Structure 1
Amino acid sequence: MPAFSRGNRNRCPVPGTLYNTNTLEAFHALDKKSLLKEEANKIWEDIHTERAVEDSAVLSRFLLISFADLKNWSFHYWFAFPALVLDPPATLVESKRASEWFTPEEVKSVSVACNGWRNSSLTADVPFFLISIASNSHATIRHLKDWEACQADNQKVLFGFYDPCHEKDPGWPLRNFLALISSRWNLKSVHFLCYRESRGFADMESSLVIEALIAAPQGLNDRQLVPNAVGWEKNKNKYVSRCINLAKSMDPTRLAESAADLNLKLMRWRALPSLNLDKLSSVKCLLIGAGTLGCQVARMLMAWGVRKITLLDNGRVAMSNPLRQSLYTLDDCLNGGDFKAFAAAKSLKRIFPAVEAKGEVMAIPMPGHPVTNQEEKSVVDDCSRLYDLVDSHDAVFLLTDTRESRWLPTLLCASANKITITAALGFDSFLVMRHGPGPFSSAHAKTSSVDMDNLTLSDKGGKRLGCYFCNDVVAPTDSTANRTLDQQCTVTRPGLAPIASSLAVELFVSILHHPDGMFAEGDITNSTSSSGSSEPPLGILPHQIQGFSLSVFANDACRPLL
């Protein structure tokens, strides 16, 4: 991949090539000699086509090979600055400070000319140039292509270049400059100004004036005979690559945030270009129920890039919970047990500090559960509070144990027109479903110019999806009173909760990426979506998904239902 950085004041452009490999093995297997030779060929070609005279920046090329281990923040790299080797080599016969070689008047004039050259937007990026000094000590900076004109004016001329070295010897760009001068003008003796700056201005004390004798290298005018090249950087006096690990120098929270999204970025890069990570990170999810399903759904949401999660529950962590509910440990069970909502939010932040997780402790008013006069105000307050929570979130997951506890949230979600996902478990079966929009919801408009608030589902011509209670013929009742222990507890095979939770989150992500969003009709296998003949990027979007355990596994054991 070619790389080029445009410069400005205090900088010069250096074109080059970056080879980034996908594996460490591929990095070590690169043919370094061939790569360096290829870059040297480019320099040699530019010299003979006179492109180097028109754009002298091409004389200072770089080559960078690299491998980035993004999981561990470890970076392997090796720089090369290709330099042509003259045979026989040039000889440096004189080297003085510019302040000593020039007269005082010339020092002042050269400094002014160099500063003016660097301040000009047209010439600040030109790294190789000419310095012509008239008999009255007036210095002028000119382009390399003006060499013949300088000779005709019978002025003292030096070749100048921006020297990246601050030692007593000139820097590496001089090698390629010598090759250009010898090939283009066939000069045998040349004076150079190794131009250096201090604090952004010309520094004649550190700049050098050097006289070089150039013998006639063999084949210098032969375009096909490319000189040898050197340029690979040494690492502790050895020709080996360098490795830097940034993990220790980075903030752990920032490091965790970058690493957490790596899989999603790879998914988008390799298989799913339409994956909208910004939409996932900004959506607000309310999880009603922080038990077995709630813990798993929260983990899956974080894995998909959701960063705003609220957990609602009024229970406390019991000794039996940590084995099945992945966000709790034994410490959460001590001293009567912590509230699940708070403990779950704390655990999410401990797993991933960048998540915005919070807990809400409250009981959900349920039909069939009578309340006393003393409890009436508390129930009304809970209803109001639940309404505000639903209204302030973009999506709601219904993950409670009892059917009647889902009834009021279902009504509120339909009224507020929120994305609603239900996950329910049996002993060896599960149900995952989306509720669809409410009865008076605005229809989804496929173009942003349509006012969604003034449309209804009938405008779209689609059918509403049923909710969890649409086909329910059982009257609301208190399902927890006068029941044995096995009836009060959710008796479920342990493996079903992770499966159902994963499918619930997958269904939610599919809704976010579907062209019609929550207004999409229910798809079944081999059906055609109303949004078009092509299948959405994350597959079909069913209304319900019913599953059974592996004990009765068959081809249709997990299937979408309309």
Structure 2
Amino acid sequence: MAEDAIPERTLKFLPLRSFIHNDFWHKYAEIKLDIDRLDDSGRAIYGIIALDTGKCTMLEVACSSFNDKYHDESLRGFRCKGILLNHNTLESFRSCDKNMVLRGQASQFYHNLLKQESIQSSADLVYYMLLSFADLKTYRFYHWFAFPVPTEITYRYDDEQPIPSNLDVKLRKSICQFLYQKPIPNEPFFIYHAIKGIKLLVDYIQHHSPDTNFRAEDMEPFYFCFYDPRSDTKSVPVSWHLRQMLTYLVLTSPVLAEQGIKCIRVTGSTPAELQLSLMTIYLPKHVTDVNDLKLWAGWESDRNGKYLPRVTSLNDSMSRESLAGNAVNLNLKLMKWRLIPALNLIAIKQAKCLLLGAGTLGCNVARSLMAWGVSNITIVDYGKVSLSNPIRQSLYRFDDALNGGKTKATTASERLLEINPAAKIVGVDLKIPMPGHPIGQEIAETKDTLDKLIRLIEENDFIYLLTDSRESRWLPTMLGAFYNKHIINAALGFDSYLVMRHGKNEDGYIDTKNDADSSCPAGFRKINSYDLGCYFCNDIVAPGNSMKDRTLDQQNAPAYYRIPKSDPLFREQEPDGLLGIIPHSIRGNIATLQTMVTATERYSNCVACSISVLERYACNKKDFIINVINGTESLETVAGLNQMMSSIFDGNEAKDTLDFDSDLSDDL
């Protein structure tokens, strides 16, 4: 080496650092549960190297990193593509061969890159990998960034040199126009040609013919520029991402092998802060196949300088309501992954459910609905908690029954909110008007009650009938049929139970007939969903006061009340549901250990859902209801039961036949 020659030294690089915004993990938690599930093949992410100055080059990822089309023009920087590799277990995250993963991903990246005709942007050369495990139960995220480069390739450089004075002014002007214009070009690497000005790497490098790259060019006016956010431009090492660009040149430009290239480090977030420094970097031998590179480095060290993964916990940044809501959704989504992929959890969550009755059935149905992810529940009841309730009614405690007892609806809603603070639960203290229970002079108050009940039924999608008497179910059944709502009924006898859904016509209450279906076996007939009967379709008398003659043993539900609790999957009325058939009714008998799945056709003379009753309500609304409650208008007459009986029997015979006391359970 000549005495006046500038000594060559090994070029060193300062590793990239990462910064993960919390919303990145929030977004990935959604993607993992809703989209990726058990898929661990990898997901593309996009990070930003800010056009800023600092002690090191920082790559940031946020919730927008999962959107390949998103670009915030207010954020000045270069958008670079990487890959997120998430493991499904913590053990696989810990035990995987990190060096093998790094080498495999780096080789795959360069293979895919060089298969293209050319790069689209020089930001494509800044490649990174995020290895992770997401513990979605505790909201702890284990992660480790890597920026892969081959360790077998080293570079030499000359000390930084001053930029020639005849070049400095023109160079600064060109870079200012290129780098600081809006929108910012996604080019952390570019070429300054002393004659032609700013040029891109794609202008000179084609992947399918590497031997021709730069071959016809005079390299004297070429300056390879790279943006380096480090504020100290007078020192080495340089930023790590320059090493990735140099690796790209080694793989694609054999003409430059073992040659020195002039490189300009560009620093500064604004034209006023622009700083330039010049150095000559000597490239090693050309590498023809990336598979020849066996050793790779690039794992990010932690805050203590150790090469270990990091852990981010989001518990402190999340409200208890969010944690509770996410925990509920987690169990359902994990179940959906393997067992019921087609289950529409969003539809279940958005369903509005009205529970009429907050007793034994009401408490357990509410808990069951919440377990299925329903978050909008309204509970209606008029009673108060008694000392005998807490042992069977799971939402009440002993203290709730003291001093006369708290109202059931309000107390039940408070308990549900304690279970899931993220849910929307409302308790309404309301007495449902019932046939056989005259209202006397309280007409104005009853009309106000009817307005509230009608409004509640109109506002909700699913109506659950869970009251403790037959007559209390008549008005909600009739209103649900009129306003075309899904109605689910559950009732208890001494040793039997019933769960049923009422027929629902999407076009409203219109008279329909079942057409003959050739697919039905001989002796069977198909009943369309809208022709399924309601709770009262098997009755030939209107409901009356069933409570006045109840003995003490008839006022308490038995201990098997958990069996008939309903779930929201009755929402679809197709023959085959996601969990099997959706029956019209399920009748169970504990004594015989039998369960029957039955179907009943809508009765044209039903006292609750027949066309004649619904049309009478459409004409007179609340006056019709009050007349029925007070007994001044006969439901049997409106529904046509009396006329039907008259056509079968003579008057005296019909009277003797119909005047009887039922020995069946009031609830069944």
Please say if residues 223 and 261 of structure 2, whose CA atoms lie closer than 8 Å, have aligned partners that are also in contact: yes
Query: For residues 479-526 of structure 1, what are the alpha-carbon distances to aligned partners after superposition, in whole Å with 9 as ceiling and x for unaligned?
Result: 332543223x22311xx222211xx22xx423x2344xxxxxxxxxxx
In structure 1, give the amino acid aligned to 2:106.
A
Structure 2 residue aligned with 1:532: none
Structure 1 residues 472 and 49, CA gap change in structure 2 (3 angstroms): closer
Give ranges in structure 2 of 5+ residues lacking alignment. Answer: 1-41, 47-67, 206-212, 517-526, 600-668
Q: Between 235-244 and 163-172, report the one with greater CA deviation.
A: 163-172
Structure 2 residue aligned with 1:458: 513
Instruction: Specify which of 310, 317, 322 is matched with residue 385 of structure 2.
Output: 317
Instruction: Specify which of 114, 117, 135 is matched with residue 175 of structure 2.
Output: 114
User: Is 2:261 aligned against 1:194?
Assistant: no
Structure 1 residues 85 and 383, CA gap change in structure 2 (3 angstroms): closer
Structure 1 residue aligned with 2:92: 26
Structure 1 residue aligned with 2:227: 162
User: Is 2:417 aligned against 1:349?
Assistant: yes
Instruction: Using the TM superposition, give the Cα deviation of residue 121 of structure 1 relative to its aligned residue in structure 2, in angstroms.
Output: 8.6
Structure 1 residues 347 and 112, CA gap change in structure 2 (3 angstroms): farther
- What CA RMSD, in Å, does the superposition of the two structures yield over aligned residues? 3.3
Please say if residues 397 and 421 of structure 1, whose CA atoms lie closer than 8 Å, have aligned partners that are also in contact: yes
Query: For residues 55-94 of structure 1, what are the alpha-carbon distances to aligned partners after superposition, in whole Å with 9 as ceiling and x for unaligned?
Result: 644432112211111111111111110012245x323431
Instruction: Using the TM superposition, give the Cα deviation of residue 26 of structure 1 relative to its aligned residue in structure 2, in angstroms.
Output: 1.5
Structure 1 residues 417 and 326, CA gap change in structure 2 (3 angstroms): same
Please say if residues 223 and 264 of structure 2, whose CA atoms lie closer than 8 Å, have aligned partners that are also in contact: yes
Structure 1 residues 268 and 171, CA gap change in structure 2 (3 angstroms): same
Structure 1 residue aligned with 2:660: none
In structure 2, give the amino acid aligned to 1:401.
D
Looking at structure 1, the residues matched to 446 and 290 of structure 2 have their Cα atoms a distance apart, in angstroms, of 90
Instruction: Using the TM superposition, give the Cα deviation of residue 127 of structure 1 relative to its aligned residue in structure 2, in angstroms.
Output: 3.0
Please say if residues 52 and 58 of structure 1, whose CA atoms lie closer than 8 Å, have aligned partners that are also in contact: no
Please say if residues 483 and 508 of structure 2, whose CA atoms lie closer than 8 Å, have aligned partners that are also in contact: no
Instruction: Using the TM superposition, give the Cα deviation of residue 139 of structure 1 relative to its aligned residue in structure 2, in angstroms.
Output: 4.7
Instruction: Specify which of 577, 589, 613 is matched with residue 548 of structure 1.
Output: 589
Structure 1 residues 300 and 53, CA gap change in structure 2 (3 angstroms): closer
Structure 2 residue aligned with 1:497: 561
Looking at structure 1, the residues matched to 101 and 137 of structure 2 have their Cα atoms a distance apart, in angstroms, of 28
Structure 2 residue aligned with 1:440: none
Structure 1 residues 108 and 141, CA gap change in structure 2 (3 angstroms): farther
Looking at structure 1, the residues matched to 319 and 496 of structure 2 have their Cα atoms a distance apart, in angstroms, of 44
Instruction: Specify which of 285, 289, 296 is matched with residue 229 of structure 1.
Output: 296
Instruction: Specify which of 513, 516, 520 is matched with residue 572 of structure 2.
Output: 513
Structure 2 residue aligned with 1:522: none
Structure 1 residues 254 and 302, CA gap change in structure 2 (3 angstroms): same
User: Is 2:78 aligned against 1:12?
Assistant: yes
User: Is 2:453 aligned against 1:391?
Assistant: no
Looking at structure 2, the residues matched to 454 and 398 of structure 1 have their Cα atoms a distance apart, in angstroms, of 20
TM-score (norm. length: structure 2): 0.68
Aligned-partner SS, 2:77: coil
Looking at structure 2, the residues matched to 289 and 469 of structure 1 have their Cα atoms a distance apart, in angstroms, of 18
Alignment of structure 1 residues 249-264 onto 2, 5 Å: 249-264=317-332
Looking at structure 2, the residues matched to 300 and 240 of structure 1 have their Cα atoms a distance apart, in angstroms, of 44
Instruction: Using the TM superposition, give the Cα deviation of residue 559 of structure 1 relative to its aligned residue in structure 2, in angstroms.
Output: 3.5
Please say if residues 132 and 150 of structure 1, whose CA atoms lie closer than 8 Å, have aligned partners that are also in contact: no
Structure 1 residues 386 and 2, CA gap change in structure 2 (3 angstroms): closer
User: Is 2:488 aligned against 1:421?
Assistant: yes
Instruction: Using the TM superposition, give the Cα deviation of residue 170 of structure 1 relative to its aligned residue in structure 2, in angstroms.
Output: 0.8
Structure 1 residues 45 and 194, CA gap change in structure 2 (3 angstroms): farther
TM-score (norm. length: structure 1): 0.80
Looking at structure 2, the residues matched to 426 and 226 of structure 1 have their Cα atoms a distance apart, in angstroms, of 77
Instruction: Specify which of 266, 271, 274 is matched with residue 204 of structure 1.
Output: 274
Please say if residues 163 and 277 of structure 2, whose CA atoms lie closer than 8 Å, have aligned partners that are also in contact: no
Alignment of structure 1 residues 17-416 onto 2, 5 Å: 17-42=83-108, 45=111, 56-87=122-153, 89-95=154-160, 101-102=162-163, 106-118=167-179, 124-134=185-195, 139-143=197-201, 145-146=203-204, 152=217, 155-163=220-228, 165-166=230-231, 168=235, 169-182=237-250, 184=253, 185-198=256-269, 203-205=273-275, 208-214=277-283, 216-217=284-285, 220-221=287-288, 224-226=291-293, 228-235=295-302, 236-371=304-439, 373-416=440-483
Looking at structure 2, the residues matched to 369 and 18 of structure 1 have their Cα atoms a distance apart, in angstroms, of 66
In percent, how many aligned pairs have the same letter?
Answer: 36
Give ranges in structure 1 of 5+ residues lacking alignment. Answer: 438-442, 445-451, 516-528, 530-534
Looking at structure 2, the residues matched to 385 and 42 of structure 1 have their Cα atoms a distance apart, in angstroms, of 65
Instruction: Using the TM superposition, give the Cα deviation of residue 398 of structure 1 relative to its aligned residue in structure 2, in angstroms.
Output: 0.9
Looking at structure 1, the residues matched to 435 and 201 of structure 2 have their Cα atoms a distance apart, in angstroms, of 88
Structure 2 residue aligned with 1:523: none
Looking at structure 2, the residues matched to 433 and 140 of structure 1 have their Cα atoms a distance apart, in angstroms, of 76
Looking at structure 2, the residues matched to 552 and 514 of structure 1 have their Cα atoms a distance apart, in angstroms, of 30
Query: For residues 413-463 of structure 1, what are the alpha-carbon distances to aligned partners after superposition, in whole Å with 9 as ceiling and x for unaligned?
Result: 2222221111111233211111213xxxxx44xxxxxxx369653387755
Structure 1 residue aligned with 2:52: none
